[in-house]
Amino acid sequence: MAGLSFDLIALQLFAGLALGAIYVLFAIGLSLIFGMLTVVNFAHGAFYMVGAYVGLYLISIGGNFWICLVAVPLLIGLFGLGVERVLIRPLYGRGIDYPLLLTFGLSYVMVECVRIFFGKTGYPFDTPEILQGAVNIGVGYFPLYRLFVIAATAVVLLALWLFLEKTSFGLIIRAGARDPQIVRVLGVDVSRVWLIVFGIGTAIAGLAGLLAAPLQGVIPEMGGTILAEAFVVTVVGGMGSIGGAILAGLLVGVVVGMTSLFAPEMAKVSIFALMAIVLIVRPQGFFGRAGLMS
Amino acid sequence: MTDATESIKQPDTTTASWYEFATKHRASIVAVVILVFPLVMPFTALAVNILIYGLYALGFNLVFGYLGLLSFGHAALLGTGAYVCGIAIVHFGWSWYAAIAAGLAGGLLMALVIGVLAIRTRGIYFAMVTMALSQCVYYLFYQAVDLTGGENGLRGINVRTIDLFGLRIDFINPMVRYYVIAAFVIAAFFVMSRILASPFGAVIEAVRENEMRARASGYDVTLTRLLTFVLSGGFCGLAGALQALHLSIVPIEILHYETSGLVVMIALLGGMGTFFGPMIGAAVFLVLENIVSVWTVHWQLIVGAIFIACVLFFPAGIWGTLIARGRR
Amino acid sequence: MTAAADQAGEIILRTRGVGKTFGKFVALNNISAEFARGAITSIIGPNGAGKSTYFNLLCGAFPPSNGSVEFEGKDVTGLPQHRFAHMGIAKSFQITSVFPQLTTRENIRVGLQALVSRYDIWRPRARLTELVERADALLALVGLWESRERAAKTLAHGEQRALEIGMALASQPRLLLLDEPTAGMSPEETRTMMDLIVKLAKERTVILVEHKMKLVLGISDRILVLHHGELLAEGTPQEVRQNEAVKRVYLGQREH
Amino acid sequence: ALAVSPFRINLLQAEEAPIKIGFPVPLTGPYGAEAQDQVRAGQLAVAQFNDAGGLNGRKAELVVRDDKLNPGEAATRTLELVEKEKVNFVVGSLSAAVQLAINNVTKERGVIFNSISQSDAINEAADFSKYTFHEALNPHMTSGAVGRYAFTKFGKKVAFLTADYAYGHEMVRGFLEVGKEFNIENLGDIRHPLGTTDFSTLLPRLQSLKPDILCISNFGRDQQIALKQATDFGIKKSIQIIAPLLSHASRVAAGPQAFEGVVGGCSFYWGIDDKFASTKAFNDAFRKMYDGKLPTDYGALGYGGVRTVLEAVKGAGSVETDKVVTALEALKYDYYKGPQYYRKCDHQSVQSVLVIKSKSKDMKNESDVFEVLSTEEPNEKNLRTCEALGHKS
Amino acid sequence: MLQISKLNAWYGASHALQDISLEVSRGEIVCLIGRNGAGKTTTLKSIMGLMGRTRGSVTFKGEELLRQPAHVRFALGLAYVPEERRIVQGLSVRENLRLGLVASKQKKREAELIEEIAVIFPRLAERMDQEAVTMSGGEQQMLAIARAMIAKPDLIMLDEPSEGIMPVLVDEMFELFRSMKAQGTTVLLVEQNVELALGIADRAYVLDQGSVVHQASAQALLADNEIKERYCSV
Ligand SMILES: Nc1ncnc2c1ncn2[C@@H]1O[C@H](COP(=O)(O)OP(=O)(O)OP(=O)(O)O)[C@@H](O)[C@H]1O
Ligand SMILES: Nc1ncnc2c1ncn2[C@@H]1O[C@H](COP(=O)(O)OP(=O)(O)OP(=O)(O)O)[C@@H](O)[C@H]1O
Ligand SMILES: [Mg+2]
Ligand SMILES: [Mg+2]
């Protein structure tokens, strides 16, 4: 194949990092719920998909993308609160299997409801006007909208980091995941904390869905594929570690970027190969603590 | 973690009469059920699928329910069994029973490879490594188009008649197919019950319960885990081989992680760590999916809702709940 | 009289300069000690002195960072833990560690089985009736006969401690390591346990970690005192009791 | 005289079981909409057959099953259809792997299967049997038609973006074969895994190859996303994108922006009703039955697949397999898009291919999404030869 | 201050506590003694709200507790040191201590309070950033006590605090309880080291098989030979 210029490799690297940022956004909500509540949220992809559809709906009734950017996470977060309260709460302390099964069922229900209300075919989702087009980033052209998504990811991460590190929330959540009873004895209403975390996690999933919509359009099945990728990022980074998720997301992006260059058909399996290697060498992921959830 | 309120295995003196009856005549009940099963199912091919998935879940349950490791890569074991069996017939012209044996061996071997790599990890990480490795297996089979047919799947596993003690019987006949496959499944169930009742069965449970203590008691935890995983691979490999014969094709989807996920669901639905749970889970899941999907295209809504209800109201799974009721 | 008692006085276990570091922290430093067969040796020392760490080295839970462990004349350093159990070394855990969902009897039975059958996947275990009989005998010994059918996790704390000892005994060790066996037991049960330990020591070697000084001083043949990961003192109960350094860092002024 | 007494008719029907056509299609899953259209059109063909009196009064019935786009499920469902429902024929499928699975089950049991989805493999000797018919186009034909059109118009430097599976490879092979005639320069074939949702790491590479034409050989959602993201990356500014197959449903789902200016092939477009009376008749019948809805490409295939079988039954005067096979082989038909017939050696339907371009302006109605650029007439020369497929003679 | 009357509790079907009645006044040290399995832990768990099924009445500062979840009971000024210590895995010593503070209404800064407690348990101060579960048995016990004390509860319940603690420190610890009492904290103590416990306690209850079988002042109990015979040390 034609020569590999420096510019191409640099652009490819950038594309990989950019993709990594999007992975981080997909994964972070999952990681939060996964690592902190020990709930393997199989419905994460469904929340993501519903986020995109809610955005679609809001725009169709006259909203615009910027309103959606606020409203979608809010609505999906509220929905998440309801789900936690009614469905997930009875399952805490029963191990990781039950929430997993329940959210699996829930994802079926959510996807099917969307099919009933919006139909089986997908819809196009236009990139907002001022974010259309590509800009020169020095080594080549790159779509403006993708740059915007990266910025949005950074904002979400910063907010999350502040929330977890600058409040006692992070501490409570980490302790609560391992021994909720003692945390209760120490005066914390763990259920409320869990409720909030679940809400935040799903809100981020919804936001990710909305942001992904202009990249790929919306379709009821859109949550399925990202779920596996999000799991990989979460696990490679070490569960419950935000920093780990960021590092892993970017790494996965770069790995995909580079395999796309040299063996594109392996792009997908490279993610899993990476995960297998990382976990075989370091069973708890980059920043995970050993022993969690065993 | 917390004060989980699982059913404690406590033998009790006051047992419901049906339960007593059922335990006493366990073997005959199973035989009767297997005999009449295809007659009460919507169609025979479904009954065969249930047997096969039940066997698959049985093998999975050994690792999940008894050893306490959640594997998300069992599709690789099932799929390897299916492909090895199919390839033996299509490309090497092996006889059907040799191909089944090859499939079983393929499952064992694949389990050994995955097991050796993954067994060091724990908990959710184990689930993820096994999933990742099984994805790699998927890719391997996907790319080996000449052998496996790649995305188009492996076709041509057409076994029209089979030799049985000199008898040539018509394998196309659905009932014959059912009973031949049922014979294998029953044999597998028998072997499983021996394993669980064996001393090693106790070791498996001990390792699940408390790894540190098991080690101090003199058990090699890693080896026990590995051996259990490999045994499980044998059951799943056999299931895969039977599946290949039954459907006469091996779709690449058999290696997809959804197939791994499916077996988790089946085991949980039926009752993890119970002997008949996997088979019952397979029956309920597949029948439900079948009936509802003929009735409405929105079958996923109903199936999903039933899942949710099961988790909330029958956390021990269908069979697990029945046992708990029966013991009372 | 058993063989063990015949050979009393012979060295069953020896550590040569063993140490253990966790990251930068030196938990145990250069301990050389010998343990005589058939004796009760106690290890005492302040909290965090390194007693449990030392125990873990002796039973193979993890390998020492340096030095070597020798059991019955064989170098066993770095062997996996289950091999230690096969050789006849058993330990009880300081923090209770049982098989929570299994019944009390099954807990013991599984412990016993490790010596007989580990990888037999075919013969029914019900055939190993002898194991159940021995399990019942052990249950009676540690006073859990009545609770034999209860799941271990439903036992009260003290009962679980007794089960812990029973499980250590199950592997028929020649060397028994007991890490605070009576912690959490009522005085009455402690007394029973003490009697039991003395009885056990007739047939095997016992190494004991305890903070209950009356018990320790009463039954030990020899006492090692650890402090900050080092061997502070060593001797008969009398000698140790008189030792000023031991009084200062461990016993305190009150008469124990 | 028979028809006068309703009583007699009921009696007759009770005596003679209906002609059953098994119809496994992926009602759930990403191609649910297409499958729905296949069912609708199939029902139309059955209704027309029944209204015309059936086979001497014996009515037909479509037994629809959801194959969930999964070959294993499809094989199970086909077993159900054959063993339990005792269907006389099977028509259906919407994926290469699924049709091969169904075919493997039906050919073993001597049941006629008319496939209505694309694949090259099904024509090949290994999978073919005398009970196998292929109503749909195959990738070789669409790629050929689109290639012949595009390589003269847009340039000779060609790059490929291909889904890494048999169907994708088959499309590329088709392009390369016609490419030989036009001396195209192959700049490279980048293969992406099936189900890729992000092409951002592949597009810069393609851009740097600076081709005149980019062939996107994939289907469904892969294609929608690839086109959408290629648009975002500004690829269309300098490069003409072509695709062997543009499906109606994909275009609707992805919107005009993503598909704007893309040239591709298809088997049917409702807009050719000014050219063929059969098209008009089909459109009208479909509209009438389904509240003014227009049929799509996959719908037309469902219609053609069912109707050919039923017409052959009529021609054979029986539902006996061998007779129907003979009747099908002899059939010359024009049901919805001009003349067609099944080639003898591989039972491939020889038919026209439309070369279309996606519209983004001047749309008359919501189904008005393509403009037909040219029509390649049915011609056996555009198929792979029987020898190449491994058939004797 | 704490009043329990006719308290019953169950583990599944087994009736672990039967009509327990006892009371603790402000500023007292009250001791619960009894053999293994007598129901001491269960009593404390019921007071703290960790038992599934309970009946009867438990009032604290006049408020009925039984219907309240555990965190509300903490807010009312109750603290509990469980016998299994319940040191949280994956957290450092400091984080475990912080956990004791997240719900407290203390005005002082977190760091200050941690420093205060570190003065009482110097060993913890040395190990602030060690992962807590890797500490020695005794160290973990200290941490569990420190974690409960740090929020300055009105009533602290300790389940076998001297378990695994070395003799010098046991003495110091009981000294500490005495001084806590002096500062107005009420103490409800479960202890197997009966002599020592009675040495600092005001009153004691003897439990057996889920019922209170005896109650008396500490002095009286210490003098009681039968009690001494049965419950006092070796
Ligand atoms: N994994 C580890 N990482 C860091 N420090 C450790 C680790 N394990 C043990 N330690 C430290 O090593 C020292 C010795 O611990 P050890 O458990 O042996 O004490 P011990 O003598 O048994 O004390 P106790 O009587 O309190 O049980 C302790 O200070 C402990 O904190
Ligand atoms: N989780 C449980 N499930 C069932 N029964 C239990 C459970 N925990 C304790 N019990 C039983 O309840 C009774 C009271 O137990 P409790 O733990 O209160 O005793 P205790 O007085 O604290 O004993 P110890 O001194 O041994 O700690 C005991 O008979 C015990 O076996
Ligand atoms: Mg210790
Ligand atoms: Mg207690």
Task: Render pLDDT for C134-186 as a digit per residue (tens, 0 to 9).
Answer: 999 999 988 899 999 999 999 888 888 889 989 999 988 999 999 988 887 87
Structure confidence by residue, pLDDT tens digits, B166-216 = 788 888 999 999 999 999 999 999 999 999 999 999 999 999 999 999 999
Q: Look at residue A3 in the predicted model and tell me its pLDDT.
A: 57
- Among residues B262, B319, B291, the alpha carbon closest in space to that of B56 is found at B262
Could you count the other beta carbons within 10 Å of the beta carbon of residue D7?
A: 8
Å between E199 CA and nearest CA of chain A: 28
Q: Look at residue B11 in the predicted model and tell me its pLDDT.
A: 43
Contact E234/C95, CB-based, under 8 Å?
A: no
The answer to whether D105 touches D75, Cβ cutoff 8 Å, is yes
Q: Look at residue E159 in the predicted model and tell me its pLDDT.
A: 93
What are the structure tokens assigned to B49, written together? 């699928």
Within 8 A of B65 by CB-CB distance, chain C residues are none
Rg (CA), chain D: 21
| pLDDT category of residue A53 using cuts at 50, 70 and 90 | very high
Pocket-forming residues, ligand 2, beta carbon under 6 Å: C 154-159, 184; E 11, 14, 16, 34, 36-42, 83
Structure confidence by residue, pLDDT tens digits, D261-286 = 999 999 999 999 999 999 999 999 99
The answer to whether E56 touches E16, Cβ cutoff 8 Å, is no
Instruction: Give the nearest ligand 1 atom to E136 CA.
Output: 17
The answer to whether B240 touches B246, Cβ cutoff 8 Å, is no
Å between B17 CA and nearest CA of chain D: 38
Contact E164/C180, CB-based, under 8 Å?
A: yes
CA B276 – CA B50 distance, rounded (Å): 13
Our answer on whether the CB atom of C27 is closer than 6 Å to any ligand 1 atom is: yes
Instruction: Tell me which residue has its CA closest to atom 28 in ligand 1.
Output: C48
Q: Look at residue E79 in the predicted model and tell me its pLDDT.
A: 93
Does position C256 have pLDDT exceeding 80, yes or no? Answer: no
Contact A140/D204, CB-based, under 8 Å?
A: yes
Does position B313 have pLDDT exceeding 80, yes or no? Answer: yes
The one-letter amino acid at C212: K
| pLDDT category of residue C7 using cuts at 50, 70 and 90 | low
- Strand-pairing partners, residue E92, are E131
Which residues have a Cβ under 8 Å from the Cβ of D335 and sit 6 or more positions away? D278, D282, D303, D304, D307, D308
Mean pLDDT value across residues C217-235:
91
Contact A109/B125, CB-based, under 8 Å?
A: no
Q: Look at residue D32 in the predicted model and tell me its pLDDT.
A: 87
D65 in B contact zone (CB under 8 Å)? yes
- Strand-pairing partners, residue C14, are C34, C70
Cα(E87) to ligand 1 centroid in Å equals: 14
Q: What is the ipTM of this complex?
A: 0.87
Note whether C touches E: 3 CB pairs or more under 8 A. yes
Residue B150 region by backbone torsions, left for phi larger than 0, else alpha for psi between -120 and 50, else beta: left
Does position E232 have pLDDT exceeding 90, yes or no? Answer: no
Mean pLDDT value across residues B67-84:
95
Cα(A285) to ligand 1 centroid in Å equals: 26
E136 in C contact zone (CB under 8 Å)? yes
B132 in A contact zone (CB under 8 Å)? yes
Which residues have a Cβ under 8 Å from the Cβ of A185 and sit 6 or more positions away? E48, E50, E70, E71, E74, E79, E80, E82, E86
Mean pLDDT value across residues D283-299:
94
Which is higher by pLDDT, D121 or E163? D121
Contact B297/D79, CB-based, under 8 Å?
A: no
Q: Look at residue D267 in the predicted model and tell me its pLDDT.
A: 94
D66 in B contact zone (CB under 8 Å)? yes
Which is higher by pLDDT, E90 or D236? D236
Helix (H) or strand (E) holding B61: helix B44-61
Cα(E138) to ligand 1 centroid in Å equals: 9
Q: Look at residue B58 in the predicted model and tell me its pLDDT.
A: 96
Contact B197/C111, CB-based, under 8 Å?
A: no
Our answer on whether the CB atom of E126 is closer than 6 Å to any ligand 1 atom is: no
Within 8 A of B125 by CB-CB distance, chain A residues are 235, 279, 283-285, 288, 293-294
Note whether A touches E: 3 CB pairs or more under 8 A. yes
CA C28 – CA C15 distance, rounded (Å): 12
E155-159/E186-190 β-pairing: parallel
Identify which ligand lies nearest to the alpha carbon of E16.
Answer: 2
The strands making up E211-217's β-sheet, listed across from edge to edge, are: E78-81, E155-159, E186-190, E29-34, E203-208, E211-217
Q: Look at residue C9 in the predicted model and tell me its pLDDT.
A: 66
Does position A289 have pLDDT exceeding 80, yes or no? Answer: no
| pLDDT category of residue E172 using cuts at 50, 70 and 90 | confident
Task: Please report which residue ranges of chain D form alpha helices under DSSP H.
Answer: 6-15, 32-51, 71-79, 96-108, 139-153, 166-182, 203-208, 220-232, 248-259, 277-289, 297-316, 321-330
Q: Look at residue A224 in the predicted model and tell me its pLDDT.
A: 83
Q: Look at residue D393 in the predicted model and tell me its pLDDT.
A: 63
Mean pLDDT value across residues D66-75:
94
In a mutational test of the E interface, the residue from C56, C182, C186 whose CB has the highest number of chain E CBs within 10 Å is C186
Does position C193 have pLDDT exceeding 90, yes or no? Answer: no
Instruction: Give the nearest ligand 1 atom to E130 CA.
Output: 4
Contact A275/B117, CB-based, under 8 Å?
A: no
Our answer on whether the CB atom of E163 is closer than 6 Å to any ligand 1 atom is: no
- Among residues E221, E198, E205, the alpha carbon closest in space to that of E34 is found at E205
| pLDDT category of residue D11 using cuts at 50, 70 and 90 | very low
Nearest to C125 among B8, B201, B213 (CB): B201
CA C167 – CA C160 distance, rounded (Å): 10
Question: pLDDT averaged over chain C?
Answer: 87
Query: In this prediction, what percent of chain D has a pLDDT beyond 70?
Result: 96
Question: D343-379 in b/e burial notation, b at 16+ Cβ within 10 A?
Answer: bebbbbbbbbbbbbbbbeeeeeeebebbeebebbebe
Q: Look at residue E195 in the predicted model and tell me its pLDDT.
A: 83
Our answer on whether the CB atom of C77 is closer than 6 Å to any ligand 1 atom is: no
Helix (H) or strand (E) holding C193: helix C187-201
